[in-house]
A and B are shown apart, each in its own frame.
Chain A
């Protein structure tokens, strides 16, 4: 029984000691486990927090760099500090003692609390983002311009930018040097889509030439001879050649040569001039390749076979092309944004010129081929800005204190020579409808009618003007304050043309495109009615000629008959007799006979006055009324000009020039590509051009008056396509026949009118970049 009775020793008091021991033991063990776990988790949490703060601080520092570059791209004079060059240490240091004297231009923003940090007197800008802060400094590196580089003004393009980011007690710092690049000033052609240098027609032997400076295609560059039509093979046609190139750059793609192409690269420090025949890229263009849709193929979509690809450079050319052919692997990706039309409009409202406010310049119906006008019409509303030339007066009267900005919400048609530096801005399209911005110094005999467009061989064979003519343009940098000073005459100005839609080269009118070439021929043709042809040619077409009509004009009827004979060949209207212009021809003849009724002939001054004020204006008016008539006098004069110059070597002692539409300036557009734009070496491409096509004739725009080997379009300056206007309606239908092209970089661009760059968008390239850790004190004292 005892075994079933609880023993006295099982009382609570008897067991107290072992329970405490067990509890203490358990507690001890648990304490160790908990402490260990806490220590471990705390380490991980702290580590994660630190890593997170570190990344945030770095992102904030990068935000500071981005802010600085954005402001610099909008405001070329933006600086927070001066930068000193420490020659001993070979480094750039901040000049904290001499802050620039200017007002901050960045407005306070409630999201970023952005303001100049005045309180500490350090001059840095600061901002907040989320739970962090950043501060940055910007200063121009006072480097000298390198005269050997034609397309960069080194004294205005390098910036030291330092930025610090702070989250709690974690700091990160970035120090970099950035190069500001102005696409319009630095690049011959700059395209934010795929830069396509494939111009021309099948079956043609002409060569387009592209000269000097840089080419840039954001998504790639293609260069090639016409070999296809709608992505099917065709008779090979127009070729492209590049010379005096500095570099060819692709931001995010490759550089494709669709067939062997001659390229000359200019000499650079340590690099001799190199002429190479670029072999066909090892990634060929596919016939009917892979596109997202049939529409994509027509709309300029890059086929999958070449998208994002980078052709390799043959080993034999690698050394020669080092630093010259820069595909996406070079990391030179430029994104300049888009023009600020709002700011430009404000500038025009305050001292500029707004055509809409000029009662004498109403909008007109400007004829365009099918597919160009909205609602299937054949015209668009446009205002004509004719700045005039040495041979005609224009219709633009700029205000007395003109600030250089012309802005219109409508389409603009521009031609002639602006009298000063100018930004021409349209919220729609700008039609460049004739020679633009190349003046002649009338005080010089060789420039009597126009700028001397002289070539070594001729306009179709030579790369560029002769040295003497080129010098007239580069000397413009040294022109004085009076651009009309005959002794220091300025032949062209810093002209920027900016269109929110398209910049359209308009070849419709020989009277506007080739006025300076046809005008001397007109004088010759009229003089020839009174003089032997050889004498008339010497008198009217050579520099040595006296410009006189040496003939007995005392018989008025005979004089009138000779004038009538001229109009038979070159009618104001056309071959018809029952048109009002016939009476005008008789009036002109009567005036001439009355005025010069003498046996002494006509002096140079009198004949020039008559031609300039009576005959040529009558021809221009007759052309406008009879653009579709093949026998209109202007077309006849154009043919006479061709008869004189076609296939012949150029001479520099005469006034005979090959038909050349000359357009000088920085031409910037925002529109996307037109309807038909087959990538590759393909003829089926529509660039933004109008004129000389059957569709133009059908629409009443003008006649297809010459072939592509009978005219040259010389663009001297640069072309930029921002491709930001994605909503723009695409152009349908053909609208032009291509000319032979000369796209030549203007080496005066980097230095002409650099002060206020409101019409220039800038992009940045990082030259050096340093990631650094920083202490809290450094942020406070920054």
Chain B
């Protein structure tokens, strides 16, 4: 009997098919993992952006001396989930005081103080005012006060802190028995938009300002 060498066409085709199936399965597995990893990375990036924003606002509030009366609105923990980003009362406004000890009391005029102030306001506006809902832009507005406690309106300024925010609410907890009573709370939800879809990230933080109102 003559020895047969090589493989049949059928065998080759079967091997190719099996390999193709295997590679396809592996590709799908890899591709899915890659997409998931990308999604997580994107979500993480979104989270990082939100965290960096929170860090900036946290530092700002910690350095402040007093909140303007009525800002932010008060809410219980349960009520806080009902707060709306587009509520006109949803903003926070506080003063940062800078003392100038180089001016001795004797050289101060009767209506002059040895400090100036900066009013900082965080507020949100819709990206598209015509839309019923967000996304929103977070603005940081500043208004200086001179050493007579008069507004220096010419130096009023505003800058964008972040765009495309889906939700961001400022509030104070109206629950005396909670440890963070009277601290400022911020809850924000940001949606990252990658080529493969949207990625949500929500953060809630509590901040207490360190300074006190000048007397």
Binding site for B on A (CB under 8 A): 7-9, 14, 18, 21-22, 25-26, 29, 32-33, 36-37, 40, 43-44, 47, 51, 85-87, 90, 92, 141, 143-148, 154, 158, 176-177, 246-247, 269-270, 307-308, 323, 326, 328-333, 765-771
Given the known inter-chain contacts A85-B101, A329-B66, A329-B69, please indicate yes or no for A269 contacting B111, CB distance below 8 A: yes
Q: Chain A residues near B22 (CB, 8 Å)?
A: 22, 25
Given A32-B30, A768-B97: A146 and B105 within 8 A (CB)? yes
Contact call B44/A269, Cβ cutoff below 8 A: no
Known: A14-B7, A33-B33. A270 touches B66 (CB 8 A): no
CB of A448 to closest CB in B, whole Å: 41
What are 20 A-B residue pairs whose CB atoms fall within 8 Å in the complex?
A9-B4, A18-B19, A26-B26, A36-B37, A37-B33, A37-B37, A44-B44, A47-B44, A90-B102, A92-B101, A148-B105, A176-B210, A270-B110, A323-B213, A331-B209, A333-B212, A767-B214, A768-B211, A769-B211, A771-B63
Docked-complex contact A323 and B19, CB < 8 angstroms: no
Tell me how far the C-beta of B172 lies from the nearest C-beta in chain A, rounded to whole angstroms. Answer: 10
B100 interfacial by beta-carbon distance below 8 Å: yes
User: A22-B19, A43-B44, A769-B211 are known contacts. Are A329 and B67 too (CB-CB below 8 A)?
Assistant: yes
A407 to B22, CA, bound (A): 92
Q: How distant is the Cα of A685 from the Cα of B69 in the complex, in angstroms?
A: 34
- Complex CA gap A151/B181 in Å reads 31
Q: Which positions 1-17 of chain B face chain A at CB distance < 8 Å?
A: 3-7, 11, 15
Compute how far the CA of A246 lies from the CA of B215 in the bound complex, rounded to whole angstroms: 9
CB neighbours (8 Å) of A771 from chain B are 59, 62-63
**Contact across chains for B41 and A323 when beta carbons are under 8 A apart:** no
Q: Considering the complex of A and B, which 6 residue pairs feature the smallest CB-CB distances, nearest first?
A: A146-B105, A308-B176, A270-B111, A769-B210, A87-B102, A330-B213
Chain A residues with Cβ under 8 A from B7's Cβ?
9, 14
Answer yes or no: B34 CB below 8 A from chain A CBs: yes
For residue B212, which residues in chain A have a CB less than 8 angstroms away from its CB? 330-333, 765-767
Q: Do A8 and B5 have beta carbons less than 8 Å apart? A: yes
B14 CB → nearest A CB, Å: 11
Question: Min CB distance, A648 to chain B, in Å?
Answer: 41
B102–A86 touching, CB < 8 Å: yes
Given A767-B99, A768-B97; 8 other pairs, CB 8 A cutoff = A9-B6, A18-B15, A29-B27, A90-B100, A90-B102, A177-B99, A767-B97, A769-B62
In the complex, what distance in Å separates the CA atom of A25 from the CA atom of B19?
A: 10
Q: Which residue of B lies closest to A86 (CB)?
A: B102
- Whether B198 is near chain A, meaning CB under 8 Å from some CB there, is no
Within 8 Å of chain A (Cβ to Cβ): is B49? no
* CB atoms of B30 and A85 under 8 A apart: no
Residues of chain A lying within 8 A (CB to CB) of residue B211: 331, 766-769
B110-124 toward A: CB 8 Å interface, digit per residue (1/0)? 111100000000000
Q: In chain A, what residue has the closest Cβ to B209? A: A331
B23 at interface by CB-CB < 8 Å: yes
Q: Is the CB of B210 within 8 A of A766?
A: yes
Answer whether residue B152 sits at the interface, using C-beta atoms and an 8 A cutoff. no
A417 to B93, CA, bound (A): 53
Q: Residues of B contacting A32 with CB < 8 Å?
A: 30
Residues of A contacting B176 in the complex (Cβ-Cβ under 8 angstroms): 307-308
Q: Give A158 to B100 CA distance when docked, in angstroms.
A: 12
Chain B residue nearest to A40 (CB atoms) is B37
- Is B141 part of the binding interface, using a Cβ–Cβ cutoff of 8 Å? no
Option from A8, A26, A143, A768 in Cβ contact (under 8 Å) with B104: A143
Query: What B residues does A765 contact at CB under 8 A?
Result: 212
| B205 is an interface residue with CB less than 8 A from chain A | no
Interface members, chain B 65-82 (any A CB < 8 Å): 65-67, 69
Chain A interface helix/strand/loop/mixed: mixed
Chain B residue nearest to A769 (CB atoms) is: B210
B213 contacts A769, CB within 8 Å?
Answer: no
- Give the B interface residue count (CB, 8 A): 56
User: How far is B19's CA from A26's CA once the two chains are assembled, in angstroms?
Assistant: 11
- List residues of B whose CB falls within 8 A of some A CB: 3-7, 11, 15, 19, 22-23, 26-27, 29-30, 33-34, 37, 40-41, 44, 48, 51, 59, 62-63, 65-67, 69, 97-102, 104-106, 108-113, 148-149, 176, 181-182, 209-215
In the complex, what residues of A have CB within 8 A of residue B15's CB? 18
Please name the residue on chain A nearest to B41 by beta carbon.
A40
Query: Which residue of chain B has the shortest Cβ distance to A144 in the bound complex?
Result: B104
A391 to B194, CA, bound (A): 92
Within the complex, what minimum Cβ distance (angstroms) separates A268 from chain B?
A: 9
Shortest CB-to-CB span from B181 to chain A, Å, is 7
Tell me the smallest distance from the CB of B215 to a CB of chain A, in Å.
Answer: 6
Give min CB distance, A554 to chain B, whole Å: 69
User: Which of A92, A154, A331 is the one whose CB lies under 8 Å from B105?
Assistant: A154
Q: Could you say which of A85, A144, A326, A766 contacts B215, with CB atoms under 8 Å apart?
A: A326
Give B180 Cβ to nearest chain A Cβ, in Å: 13
Contacts of A141 in B (CB 8 A): 101
Chain A, residue nearest B181 (CB): A308
Whole-angstrom CA separation of A158 from B114 in the bound complex? 13
Closest to B67 in A: A329
* Given A144-B104, A144-B105: A328 in contact with B182 (beta carbons within 8 A): yes
Q: In the assembled complex, which residues on chain A have CB atoms less than 8 Å from the CB atom of B44?
A: 43-44, 47
Shortest Cβ distance from A2 into chain B, in angstroms? 9
Q: What is the bound-complex CA distance between A492 and B22, given in angstroms?
A: 100
Q: Which residues of B contact A154 (CB under 8 A)?
A: 105
Chain A residues with Cβ below 8 Å from B99 are: 177, 767-768
> In the complex, what residue of chain B is closest to A152 when comparing beta carbons?
B215
Contact of B149 among A37, A270, A326 (CB under 8 A): A270
A684 to B15, CA, bound (A): 100
With both beta carbons as reference points, the residue of chain B lying nearest to A14 in the complex is identified as B7
Quote the shortest CB–CB distance from B116 to chain A (angstroms).
10
A158 surroundings in chain B (CB, below 8 A): 101
Give the chain A neighbours of B182 by CB distance below 8 A.
328
- Checking A8, A270, A332 against B213 with a beta-carbon cut-off of 8 angstroms, the contacting residue is A332
Cα-based distance from A29 to B34 in the complex (angstroms): 11
CB distance from A52 to the nearest CB of B (A): 13
A33 partner residues in chain B, CB cutoff 8 A: 29-30, 33
Q: Which residues of A contact B213 (CB under 8 A)?
A: 323, 326, 330-332
Please indicate the chain A residues that have their CB under 8 angstroms from the CB of B6 in the complex.
Answer: 9
Closest to A89 in B: B102
Bound-state CA distance A29–B213 (Å) is 62
By a CB distance below 8 angstroms, the chain B residues around A7 are: 4
Residues of B within 8 A of A143 (CB): 101, 104-105
Collect the chain A residues with CB atoms within 8 Å of residue B98's CB: 768
Task: Kindly list chain B residues whose C-beta atoms are within 8 Å of the C-beta of A26.
Answer: 26
Complex Cα–Cα for A765 and B65 (A): 10
Chain B residues contacting A51 (CB-CB under 8 Å) are 51
Closest CB in chain B relative to A292 CB, distance in Å: 12
| Contacting residues, chain B, for A330 (C-beta < 8 A) | 66, 212-213
Residue of B at shortest CB range from A271? B111
When the two chains form their complex, are residues A770 and B97 in contact, meaning their CB atoms are under 8 A apart? no
A308 cross-chain contacts in B, Cβ below 8 A: 176, 181
Among B40, B51, B211, find the residue whose CB has the most chain A CB atoms closer than 10 A: B211
B104 proximity list for chain A (CB < 8 A) = 143-144
Chain B residue contacts of A767, Cβ below 8 A: 65, 97, 99, 211-212, 214
Cα distance A566–B176 when bound, in Å? 67
Report the bound CA distance from A699 to B79 in whole Å: 58
Chain A residue with the shortest CB-CB distance to B148? A270
**Most chain A Cβ neighbours within 10 Å, of B23, B41, B113, B212:** B212
CA distance A332 to B210 in the complex (A): 10
Residue of B nearest to A34 (CB): B33
A328 to chain B, nearest CB (A): 7
Cβ–Cβ < 8 Å partners of B181 in chain A = 308
- Contacts of B149 on A, CB cut-off 8 Å? 270
Instruction: Give CA–CA (A70, B25) in the complex, Å.
Output: 67
Chain A's closest residue to B33 (CB) is A33
List B contacts of A332 (CB < 8 A): 212-213, 215
Which residues of the partner chain A approach B37 to less than 8 Å between Cβ atoms? 36-37, 40
A269–B112 alpha-carbon span in the complex (Å): 7
B102 A25 Cβ-Cβ under 8 A: no
